[in-house]
Structure 1
């Protein structure tokens, strides 16, 4: 795990080679990368195999950094467990690029679902309004042809037209909801929760 002291780097990922995903960030002094190793060290049942990273890091200028090996991180993780602090877990998430990327994708997906729902409602309302207007025009033209121009007889077809269009709107709304559920954004796997619990370790 590397901590940047001086310089600037670019860190990018396609989340394991996915064609529909790309994320790129700039690392500056105070930032770090290789956090997969810290997550591995914090896991209650740490495996012997070291984790791999899906990010590519490239130096943009001359860079100075210091590194912590796996053994060093295990020692640091043991210190974190003794702290047993929720604040430390939130700090880990805040500075973690994995968590930031996941949160950005989660917010984007939620916003797109909201936009689809609003567009579906707007389309259903417009369709209902135009259909009712067209139905009324048709009924009025038929009444004029038949010579039925009394107010009582012209009011009933309008009410009937409104009543007939209400079920159609409900069906249209349900279809829009089904289409929304069938169109999902590619999901990014949520990072593992950091575990600083002292009770989980001897």
Structure 2
């Protein structure tokens, strides 16, 4: 039996995107509705995995420990109501490194899916960038583009790769899938 899984991008989905990278905890701004969305997913027994490109590490802008500190800080914001863990996956490479883990390549997603026993076809990849949609589609995951972060710049009628859903933000996405899940019972 497979676990229910959600794969989320970090910057632009959970926290505000910054042009100069989120390098430390003082630069974190959690987006509105994210906390409620996470709690709602946990209440329905979803496993939450964050899959994020963090090329600032290989560019020397911040360290891997800084990435882990940012993740720990975000997780602490949910601590009181936490009813499940958040699993963090990040790629520290740049495009030129040609690794398998940097989105749009699906390596990071594959690892999360394998380690948590998700069924690709029933797993959602939610992101604000076409790279997120490409990575999800490469594994036959369902995909959602959120219009927070960079999402608005990628959403247009002539999109070459159309996601299954386009939502204003993570909260709207979660409400939609939970309603659909309830109606299918």
Is this a same-fold pair by TM over 0.5? Answer: no
Rg comparison, structure with higher value: 1
TM-score by length of 2: 0.28
Q: Judging by fraction of residues, say which structure has more helix.
A: 1
TM-score by length of 1: 0.26
